[in-house]
Amino acid sequence: MKTHDLIFSQRPYVLAAQIMAYNSTAIIFTPYGNYWRQMRKICMMELLSPSRVQSFRSVREEEVSDLVESLYTNAGSPVNLSQKIYSMTYGITARSAFGKKSKEQEEFIRIMAELVKLSGGFCLSDMYPSSELLKLISGMRIKLNKLHRASDKILENIVNEHRNKRNQTGGGGGNPQQEDLVDVLLKIQQQGDLEFPLTNDNIKAVIQDVFGAGSETSATVVEWAMSELLKNPELLKKAQSEVRQVFSDQKGVAVSESRIHELRFLKSVVKETLRLHPSGPLLIPRECSEDCRIKGYEIPAKTKVIINAWAIGRDPSYWKEAERFDPERFMDSDIDFRGSNFEYIPFGGGRRICPGITYALPSIELPLANLLYHFNWELPGGLKGEDLDMTESFALAVRRKNDLYLIPTPFHV
Ligand code: HEM
Q: Which of 216, 273, 308, 354 to mutate for ligand 1's pocket (most ligand atoms within 8 Å of CB)?
A: 354
Do residues 396 and 113 lie in contact, with contact meaning Cβ atoms separated by under 8 Å?
Answer: no
Within 8 A by CB and 6+ apart from 285, the residues are 11, 12, 14, 121, 304, 305, 306
Residue closest via CA to ligand 1's atom 5 equals 279
pLDDT, tens only, 106-142: 888 888 888 887 776 666 677 777 777 776 777 778 8
Residue closest via CA to ligand 1's atom 11 equals 354
Provide the pLDDT confidence category of residue 195 given band limits of 50, 70 and 90. Answer: confident
Provide the pLDDT confidence category of residue 298 given band limits of 50, 70 and 90. Answer: very high
Query: Is 134 close to ligand 1, i.e. is its CB under 6 Å away?
Result: no
Q: How many angstroms does the Cα of residue 362 sit away from the middle of ligand 1? A: 15
Within 8 A by CB and 6+ apart from 20, the residues are 115, 119, 144, 147, 148, 151, 208
Least confident range from 225-229, 235-239, 398-402: namely 398-402
Q: Does the complex come out with an ipTM higher than 0.95? A: yes
Q: How many angstroms does the Cα of residue 348 sit away from the middle of ligand 1? A: 8
DSSP state of 253: S
Q: Give the number of the atom of ligand 1 that is nearest the alpha carbon of residue 209.
A: 35
Q: Give the number of the atom of ligand 1 that is nearest the alpha carbon of residue 360.
A: 27
pLDDT, tens only, 5-48: 999 999 998 888 889 889 989 999 999 999 999 999 999 998 99
Do residues 250 and 373 lie in contact, with contact meaning Cβ atoms separated by under 8 Å?
Answer: yes
Cα gap 198→33, rounded to integer Å: 15
Do residues 310 and 278 lie in contact, with contact meaning Cβ atoms separated by under 8 Å?
Answer: yes
For the entire predicted model, the pTM comes to 0.94
Q: Give the number of the atom of ligand 1 that is nearest the alpha carbon of residue 350.
A: 16
Q: How many angstroms does the Cα of residue 215 sit away from the middle of ligand 1? A: 10
